[in-house]
Structure 1
């Protein structure tokens, strides 16, 4: 009964969601493209070309392994798992679904033609059936915290195992889910295995009806610093950034960049040679950030235009995709964005940590509070609550290379100590594949 009500509400709101997505496409064509996929008319994309799903697999290939990662952060978190699956299961094609174009772009930049991409359809029974008819996956791996009752029910009916990998759920979310206990208990009680990040996450999943729950840890800790990014960062440092104190503000948002620029102006008062590398989170904001920097009369260079930097350049705008790790590698100090504004909840602290960079972060880190707390308790990261505090921390670290090195070493040690979730998750996959009706 509850799922019927849920489904009826989805049918009411699905046309609105489609219209909103189409309207977003006026500013960002990526939202307008591939709208039929939102209703389960799925086409698999590899690079710039698309193929109908039945042509993706050759006659001797095994059914695909399917990973769902809702957007950029989840795609990045899934990267170690994707690479392990490509190595261990070459007989299976690998499909990654996302809900956002930025997630799709991140899939392409990380994996290129090694994987294929589609958008996850809305959780409508007909859309879900069309999607699964076309894809026919042998296993569904859902990253972190997505629960879709109709999709999960249809997977159970078809005997497609679901693995919630590196699963997390906040106390607040668990309380909300409990109010609809019958709906989510039904979704999680069938063919779903929950590989939780922490014991607290495991207990919360059990409280909303999950039956098969294990604690495997957070696969994000299995991150490795890409050698190509490290080398590119070293080259940048030796050439374009030589001799300058450099701090990177990664994955930034509107409302936050203004505070970052204010902090940078304070830094420039004492270190006029300092450079801020500004990396906005969403590509559809690049033009707006360009316009804003111009209106502020900032001497900046744009990465996408290969504009050369002079001594007068105070900001480098990275308006390209997939280069954040390179600039973390080239910098003295990393600020991780999404944390100075209350609506986002922070982004991935482990990326600069694995590159042994000292980390500064704002007060809002509810997306991964355990990691943020661990980093700050161990001295790998510092919290700043304002532009003035951020500027003071940057200036202090600029003058103390020993402190920078110690913070970076502590961050790397935390990553190294917590690795192992990937192996534990991989050990769950083979038994699930053997139980699948499509294997």
Structure 2
């Protein structure tokens, strides 16, 4: 059952609604220096246009560059199970988006993550409809989590890292955050301390796993990539990577003293954010240092003491050419960026006191002696001088740093094994690509495994050899026909009730992906991948007619089947057949699929006594448990209704107990 909406969450909603417009305005303002912030602003309000093949796939959220790098090995491991077209990755920063494209090109679908308001998150999830959400490191958003619970979408937090100060902050807002922690389907912690803090916050122990740090599984960076910065073999090179405001100026202030001891030294400054490139360049000029800028293709000469790395995606190249590496975000209270990239290249690392974002990694590096914590920029360069005085020792430390990284790998495989339990029994390989055809006012989706042609003529009457099928309540208009040598059912969506007298089959205009036909097509596609007893979707169509649309769907004919009403008019069902019906409904409910019109016409039995469920118009995944008993009661009411309607209806109300026996059975038929 969904947690009640408490006052803290109500207040959170009001706050986020108030902040959403200023947040978008701030992103637009940041776009002055980095135009990437102005890209996809509508996506942040949930207005996305996902590829049809990506619906009911897997969504991975990696906020920025660090999370994308951490997720790389996990994504590549997931690609062995999930086809590329089913994987969507969201980021919050344009730098994260650019890093994703650099790693995966266009093979994965990317969107910007929505702001955490009810409207934006609902729109996003309704359009993408993921089967599983994977959050990287610390991306916990209360409204997002609530919306996922309502849709029965399991959410996993992986490579989780949580400092004591962050945990204390969450404890102060326990009323808002408690449903978040208890609602996680999996929390894979990067270290033991994080696991303990998550359990104390309320993550159930059975959903906790210490998987190790995904960043240890990052592919070994190649510093010799074509176009990478050229090493300066005759100069002592110190690289300061991913620096933040306050660090560059501190390093520049302390640099002259180091230069007096090492006149040939070269300092490479690589700011974390591209919008700071110009301000750092001005700081270098203000200090009076001769500078080369990477963005201009400039190479340092003997008079150059500062090389500004004002480009993106080249940090591995900078670390690869270094004698020593400083990891930014540690001299100022940012929390420290990932030191493993430098260590994987055989470089010992220097860092400041602020390492809470990666405390376990920094602590291990410090304990092994391949990393050194300093209090200031002056102390940093003094420590660098001591290391440089012993070149053989420095080389040995680099080898030990590299061996440490290589020895900690394996987290991605551990995480994937844990995630597999969340999508079981869904078979991602069955989420085959969807062919989309647009022709004027008509949109068609097709499963290429069923249809080899790319047209929609099979929807148009007259259909030769078609046979009308029973439609029960009259709201469906179905025909059995042959399509490319296979038996299928063509159903035209029709309205019910009084409105059907005036408007039998037109619906208020909406995007094709949210039309009745495409929604049912996508849901059937997902349910088939889960092995549920439903027909295979073949094709779906939306035709726009003015301000309205009509819709049709084609599904595979299930051989040798008749619906329960047809069967009961001709004869009674056996107890075993009633139990088979209960088991089929239980399979649906275990998958959290709500059938909005569960009645005797939509339940079929084949010649072997297996039960099937059809007609999933307006059906959807639904969280909680309370609706399931009501769903069964709906079926019971429909049977009683048919008993009054048909004089030869062979059903006794006491037989419904057999349905319940099958429903409650612990051995559900696949």
Match 2:208 to one of 213, 216, 237: 213
User: Structure 1 residues 253 and 180, CA, compared in 2 at 3 Å: closer, same or farther?
Assistant: closer
Instruction: Determine the structure 1 residue equivalent to 2:220.
Output: 225
CA distance in 1, matches of 2:280, 2:87: 35
Q: Secondary structure at the match of 2:31?
A: helix
Among candidates 244, 259, 274, match of residue 253 of structure 1: 244
Structure 2 distance, partners of 1:314, 1:235, is: 16
Does structure 2 conserve the Cα–Cα contact (< 8 Å) formed by 1:233 and 1:326? no
Residue 158 of structure 1 is aligned with which of 151, 159, 163? Answer: 151
* Cα deviation digits, residues 199-254 of structure 1 (max 9, x gap): 2212221222222212211111112313x4345699823xxx13111111100111
* Partner residue, 1:148: 141
| 1:354 aligned to which of 332, 341, 344 | 344
Return the alpha-carbon distance in structure 2 between the equivalents of residues 177 and 386 of structure 1: 31
Instruction: Identify unmatched segments of 5+ residues in structure 1.
Output: 43-51
Q: Does 1:313 align with 2:304?
A: yes
1:294 corresponds to: 285
Q: Output one character per residue of 1:404-425: Cα deviation in whole Å (capped at 9) or x when no partner.
A: 1122122223212322211110
CA distance in structure 2 between the aligned counterparts of 1:382 and 1:252, rounded to whole angstroms: 17
SS of residue paired to 1:229: coil
- Name the structure 2 match of 1:338: 329
Counterpart contact for 1:160–1:191, Cα < 8 Å = no
Match for residue 47 of structure 1?
Answer: none
Judge conservation of contact 2:329–2:337 (CA < 8 Å) in 1.
yes
* Aligned equivalent of 1:16: 22
Which of 343, 346, 357 is the aligned partner of 1:367? 357
2:187 corresponds to 1:194: yes
Cα contact 2:293–2:307 (8 A) shared by 1? yes
Q: 1:80 aligns with which of 56, 73, 77?
A: 73
In 2 relative to 1, CA 172–309 (structure 1 residues): closer, same or farther, beyond 3 Å? closer
Residues 129, 26 of structure 1: alpha-carbon distance in 2 compared, 3 angstrom cutoff: same
Aligned-partner Cα distance in 1 for 2:182–2:377: 47
**Higher gyration radius (CA):** 2
Distance verdict in 2 for CA 1:367–1:206, change over 3 Å:
same
Q: Deviations over 1:84-128 (max 9, x none)?
A: 223442354322211222222222233222323211111111111
Q: How far apart, CA to CA, are the structure 1 residues paired with 2:81 and 2:229?
A: 33
Equivalence for 1:46: none
Whether 2:64 is the aligned partner of 1:71: answer yes
Shift of residue 389, structure 1, vs aligned partner: 1.6
Displacement, 1:299?
Answer: 1.1
Larger helix share, 1 or 2: 1
Aligned residue in 2 for 1:429: 419
Structure 1 residue 137 displacement after superposition: 1.8
Q: Is the 8 A contact 1:301 1:307 kept in 2?
A: yes
Alignment-derived partner of residue 370 in structure 2: 380
Secondary structure at 2:366's aligned position in 1? Answer: helix
Which of 401, 406, 409 is 2:396 aligned to? 406
- Deviation of 1:263 after TM superposition, in Å, equals 3.0
